[in-house]
Amino acid sequence: MPAVLGRWLLAGLLGLPAALGARSAPPLPPLVLRAAPLPFTPTEFYVAAVLDERADRSAVAWLLPPPAAGGKQQPAQPVDLQGGAQRALQDYVRQSLARNPALRPVTIRLRECQVREAPAAGAPGRVEGRVTLSMAFDWERNGRRIHLTDYRGAARYLRPAAQPGGAEPALRQALAESLGYLHHWINREVNGNAKLATSLRVQATDVTGPAADTLYYSPARPLQLSDFRAAPRPAGRYAASVFPSFAYTAQARTVGGVLQLQLRVQVFVVRSMSWVADDARTAHTLSHEQRHFDLVKLVAERFKRKVVPDSLTLDNYDARMQYQFLQSWWEMNRLQEQYDGETQGGQNEAAQARWNQRVAAELRAFGLSPAP
C-alpha cells in the first residue's frame, strides 16, 4: 500500500507543471522598434542624446497575449523594448532622423512611455491599446543646458485579440509625431525665441530728451543757469549743487538666431534738485558744475564699452550688465567726491584747471566735444 501511494504522488507531481503550463501563456517577445525615415530633415537641430528619466523604469508595455483555448483572455504581460527604453529610442532616432552635428545638439529626456492593452469595451474579440508619451527637449549652449519645450502625446489602437502586434506601430508613430513636433517648434521659434539664439549683438544709443524736469546730456546743450531750479540752500560748503546721474534700459529681441540687445543709456540732471546761490550765478560756477555732468558722461561711455558681446553671455547677459552698472555707479560716486575734494568745490583754481583739461581730453577720446 505505501508503494502504490508513493507512485501516485510522484505521478501527480510530475503532471503539475504540465497542467500549470496549459493555463499560462508563453512570454511575449520584446518590442523591436523598426527604423522608418521621417518625412522631414531638420535644419536647426540634431538629436545628440536620449536620456531615460522615467519615474518608473520597468517595462514600457503591458500587452495581452492571444486568448487561450476556448477563447478565454489571458492576463496582460509586461513587455519591454528590446535593449531597454533608452537604447531602443537612441537607435530609433539615429536610424530614422538625419543627423548634422553642425546644428544645435538637442537632448531628449524621456519622462513617460507607456503602452497598455485591455479588452475593448463593447467589442468582443478586440483589444484596445493606449499609448502615452512624454518628453522634454533641451540643448546645450556654451556648456549650459537650455530647456526648449515639452511634448506630451497619446494614441489608441484596436486589434483582433488573436493577432498581437499593434503596440510597436502605435509607439513608433507616437515617437515620429514627437520628433515632428520638435522640428516644427524650432522652425517656428528660431527667429524670435531667445532660447535658440546662437550669438549676441549689442547696440547702444544715448537718450537725449527732451523732458520737462530732466536734462539729458548733449555736447550741443551744456548746463545753463536756468537749469538750476531748486531754491538755494543755506550758506555752507558749496555755492551750487547739481545732481547728475546715469541709468540704462535694455531690450532684447531675437532675429535670425541673433539676440539683439538694444541698450539705451541716459545721462541726466534733475533740474528741480539742482540749485545755485544768488551770489554765485557766474560762468566759473557753471563751468565747475558742468564738469560734474561731464564726469558722469565719461563713466557712462566706459560702461557702454564694458557691455559688449565679448563680456556678456547669452545665458546671463542681464546679470553681467547689472554687475557692470554697479561697478560704474561706484566709479561715478568716487570721481564726483574726488573732483569736489581736489578742487574744493571749484575754489582751488589750479586744481580746477587740471580737472578741466583732464575731462576735456577724455571726452575727446570718446569723440565728444567738451563744453566750455
Phi-psi region of 338 (alpha: psi -120 to 50; beta: other; left: phi over 0): alpha
pLDDT value, residue 256: 82
Compute the distance between CA of residue 111 and CA of residue 151 in angstroms, rounded to an integer. 10
Q: Which domain-ending residue is among 148, 170, 189?
A: 189
Burial class for 137, CB neighbours closer than 10 Å (0-12, 13-18, 19+): buried
* Residue 16 included in any domain: no
Ranges of residues in the chain with a pLDDT under 50 are 1-22
On whether residue 170 sits in a domain, the answer given is: yes
pLDDT given for residue 280 in this prediction:
92
Examine residue 15 and state whether it is found in any structural domain, yes or no: no
Rounded Cα distance, 359 and 246, in Å: 17
Tell me which amino acid residue 22 is.
A
**Cα-flanking dihedrals φ and ψ of residue 370, to 5°?**
-65, 145
Do 238 and 168 belong together in one domain? no
Residue 294 in any domain: the answer is yes
Residues 95, 201 within the same domain: no
pTM comes to 0.73
Q: Cα(366)–Cα(302) distance, rounded to whole angstroms?
A: 9
168, 231: one domain: no
Q: Domain of 164?
A: 30-189
Say whether both 182 and 311 belong to one domain: no
- Is residue 201 domain-shared with residue 183, that is, in the same domain? no
Are residues 239 and 307 both part of a single domain?
Answer: yes
Q: What is the pLDDT of residues 58-83, one digit of tens each?
A: 999 999 999 988 778 889 999 999 99
Does residue 249 sit in the same domain as residue 175? no
pLDDT tens digits along 268-303:
999 999 999 999 999 999 999 999 999 999 999 999
Helices 317-343 and 349-365 sit at what angle, rounded to 10 degrees? 150
Give the pLDDT of residue 23.
Answer: 59
pLDDT of 14 = 37
Chain-centroid distance, C-alpha 64: 43
Looking at the fold, whether 169 and 266 belong to one and the same domain comes out as no
pLDDT at 51: 97
